[in-house]
Amino acid sequence: TSAETMLITAQSGAEFLSSLEKNKMEGNAKKIVVVSVSPQSRASLAAFYRMPIRQAYAKLITCLKSMGVDYVFDTSFSRDFALREAAAEFISRYRREYGEKDKELPMLASACPGWICLAEKSHGDFILPYISSTKSPQQIMGTIVKEYFAKQLDTTADRIYHVTVMPCYDKKLEASRDDFYNDVLSTRDVDCVLSSGEILDIIKGLGKPFSDYEESAIDSLFTNIRGEELFGVAGGSGGYIEYIFKRAARELFNKEVTEIQYQPSRNNDFKTLTLEVEGKKVLEFALAYGLRNIQNVVRKLKQNKDQNRYHFVEIMACPSGCINGGGQIRPQEGEDPKKLLKRVELLYNETMKKDPEDNEASEKLQRLWFDGVFTLDAKTKLHTQYHAREKMQTNALNIKW
């Protein structure tokens, strides 16, 4: 199992490369290598190479495959699963809060490991019940790849080496959580996490100019890019707030929200969304990005002031959200960071236009694999839990968490 441990702890570009090299020598024991790329990393690469998203992605696929990667998937595909689950979870919590139970709301988003880490270390048991149990898109992709894709390939989960490319270093910590080690399959959902910057270094290290790579066809299985259509929800990070708002308005109040309108705010990292029915505010959502805004939300919640003022808060640790994550490609010398961020945002939003509901293929798979949304099976496989932690606790892989 030492080779296994090596693969699990591989958390850098160098480890990824040496794992690929070693894998080539394995003959029949060769693992199947799957790389799942986040839409934010795709946008970061496209901005760096000044290419349209689709072209940059198609070249990245060729580049990865030339290195011995077997499949390249897209985590905006698993994000649709996460959005559907989180919306159903919210609706169920809302009904309980106003039914027989309290302390169900606000539901706080759970896709950002930077925030989860802060919540577990600094706010302990108090805050954890409010955090959505829905796994992040990265970890749902892990479940899809290791549980379902393995079956489709007629192989076992431990024969797949699953790598993700993320805008974020904290995603490495997330992947190494004990909760994401699958005891039944004896495998980790995600074996290795590379940042957008690390993947850029790998591409550069190969020596061939990126523009010289052919454009590969996009693996159609787990992607939101189909033909000319690009599926996904806009929003710098998760798009959770807008999607859950629309679903909740429809399912709880029979209202179709066609256009999302935030309350005017001078702070782009703190915005609110409200739905009124018969003069009464029935849904109050907020988006809180960056430490200061997060602290304000937590403080209010702790003071029990306006406890139910927000029903849902999309919380992300980085100002401007994941497109501005610490793992994204840094501005080049002389490049204005704000202009770069704007370019990444434009490219990102270009690929994120449609609701997950319009994505029949992914809905169909969710029905097939999990018997639907928020079913018993979905709750077992697509949800997780949180734990109050001592500050600076170190996990089994010796990573400070």
For ligand SF4, which is the closer residue by CB, 41 or 187? 41
Query: Which residue is associated with the tokens 């259509």?
Result: 229
Closest by Cα among 335, 351, 352 to 48: 335
Q: How far is the CB of 341 from ligand SF4 (least distance, A)?
A: 13
Which of the stretches 176-184, 296-304, 311-319, 373-381 binds ligand SF4 when contact is defined by CB under 6 A?
A: 311-319
Shortest distance, position 289 Cβ to ligand SF4, whole Å: 7
Give 7 or 117: the residue with its C-beta nearer to ligand SF4: 117
Choose which of 35, 60, 112, 165 interacts with ligand SF4 (CB under 6 A): 112
Distance, CA of 301 to CA of 57 (rounded, Å): 42
CB 157 within 8 A of CB 150: yes
Residue for token digits 């990573």?
A: 399
Q: Which helix (H) or strand (E) holds 272?
A: strand 270-277
Site string for ligand SF4, 113-132 (x = CB under 6 A): xx------------------
Does residue 321 interact with ligand SF4 by CB under 6 A? yes
Burial (CB < 10 A; 0-12, 13-18, 19+), residue 162, is: buried
216 three-state secondary structure:
coil
Nearest-CB residue for ligand SF4: 325
Does 82 sit near ligand SF4 (CB under 6 A)? no
Q: Which two tokens stand for residue 331?
A: 């501005």
Distance CA 310, CA 296 (A): 13
CB under 6 A: which stretch of 69-77, 112-120, 269-277, 297-305 binds ligand SF4?
112-120
CA distance readout (Å), 194 to 20, 36, 138, 377: 14, 10, 12, 30
Write down the least CB distance from residue 290 to ligand SF4, Å. Answer: 9
Measured CA distances, 297 to 153, 191, 260, 379, 391 (Å):
45, 33, 22, 27, 21
Report the residue from 325, 356, 370, 384 that binds ligand SF4 according to the rule CB under 6 A: 325
Strand order in the sheet with 192-195: 71-74, 32-37, 160-166, 192-195
Closest CB to ligand SF4 among 56 and 112? Answer: 112
C-alpha atoms less than 13 angstroms from C-alpha of 175 in its C-beta half-sphere: 28
Considering only residues 55 to 74 of the shown chain, the ones binding ligand SF4 according to CB under 6 A are none
Residue from 47, 63, 168, 275 touching ligand SF4 (CB under 6 A): that is 168
List binders of ligand SF4 among 170-229 (CB under 6 A): 170
* Selected binder of ligand SF4 within 46, 150, 318, 382 (CB under 6 A): 318
CB of 236 to ligand SF4, least distance (A): 9
Binding to ligand SF4 in span 239-298, by CB under 6 A: none
Interface residue with ligand SF4, options 35, 190, 286, 322 (CB under 6 A): 322
Largest CA distance in the chain: 68
232 lies in the binding site for ligand SF4 (CB under 6 A) = no
Position among 34, 63, 193, 317 found at the interface with ligand SF4 (CB under 6 A): 317
**From CA 108, how far away is CA 287, in angstroms rounded?**
10
Choose, by CB under 6 A, the member of 83, 165, 316, 365 that binds ligand SF4: 316
Nearest to 228 by CA among 52, 398, 106, 39: 52
Strands 71-74 and 32-37: parallel
CB of 246 to ligand SF4, least distance (A): 22
Report the residue number, 91 or 317, with the smaller CB distance to ligand SF4.
Answer: 317
- How many residues bind to ligand SF4 according to rule CB under 6 A? 13
Give the interface with ligand SF4 as residue ranges (CB under 6 A). 112-114, 167-168, 170, 237, 316-318, 321-322, 325
